[in-house]
Amino acid sequence: MTEHQHLLFVRHGETVGNLDLIAHGQTESPLNARGIRQATLTAEMLKTRDRDYQLVYASPLSRAHHTGKIIAENLHLPLHTHPELIEGHLGILEEVTYQELEDFGYGKKSIKDDDFDEHGGESPNTLAVRITGAIADIRKKHPVENIIIVSHGVAISHLIARLLGTSPAFGQQYQMHNAAFTEVKFGRNSKPELTALNYHEHLPSELILKQKRSKKNVTE
């Protein structure tokens, strides 16, 4: 076994919902033209990194799977799907606007209470357990490979908070731009280590979504 394993978490490219400030949760929202360009630029950047990756995993939702496919094809890597890499479920808040999320108090309540679920969706703890379990399953199947994992903004932020043992479970401090990546290094006898967070320097400014929005409310 190699001394370290690196998992590179990529948030999917921009979607129609992102541009319209709609929270889709587990509802489909495909990549728009900008999102496809973002994913392509991320794939091209990853080809230039010193680190090699052996495979790609993606959420089954089309926005993440399409991003994963673009990356996998550019890097000539196999693409796998894992159902538990899907975004958090928003319950009655699926497909509402970000403003409606804020009016409901979704972000504020989720940050305050790891078990908040009055929206009828997944609580921060429930999502954190699910997404962490997915990563454990993937690592069990591929214990020595470096892996690119394409998922969703809130799912990844919950995951990183759980892996690093920080609080709250909502992990708003780990949220990412579209097509950005965060990397975690795993050692055989050490705690996971964050080696990159929300890296998006490869994306030109015109491809960074500039609408003003509250970090605590972004869920897609």
Is 94 assigned a catalytic role?
Answer: no
In the chain, where are the structural domains located? 4-217
| β strands within the chain, DSSP E | 4-11, 22-23, 55-58, 79-81, 96-97, 147-151, 181-187, 190-199
pLDDT for position 1: 46
Phi and psi torsions of 45, nearest 5°: -65, -40
pLDDT above 60 for 44: yes
Is 12 assigned a catalytic role?
Answer: yes
- Tens-digit pLDDT profile for residues 111-124: 999 999 999 999 99
**Residue tagged active-site, from 6, 24, 87, 200:** 87
> Tokens 């970000």 — which residue?
98
pTM above 0.75? yes
* 4-217: CATH, from 3.90.920.10, 3.40.50.300, 3.40.50.2300, 3.40.50.1240: 3.40.50.1240
**Residue tagged active-site, from 6, 12, 119, 200:** 12
**pLDDT grade for 74, boundaries at 50, 70 and 90:** very high
Residues 6+ apart with CB under 8 A from 50: none
Contact 154, 127 (CB under 8 A): yes
Cα four-point dihedral sign 66, 67, 72, 73: positive
pLDDT above 60 for 217: no
- Please, is 139 exposed, middle or buried when counting C-beta atoms within 10 Å of its C-beta (0-12, 13-18, 19+)? middle
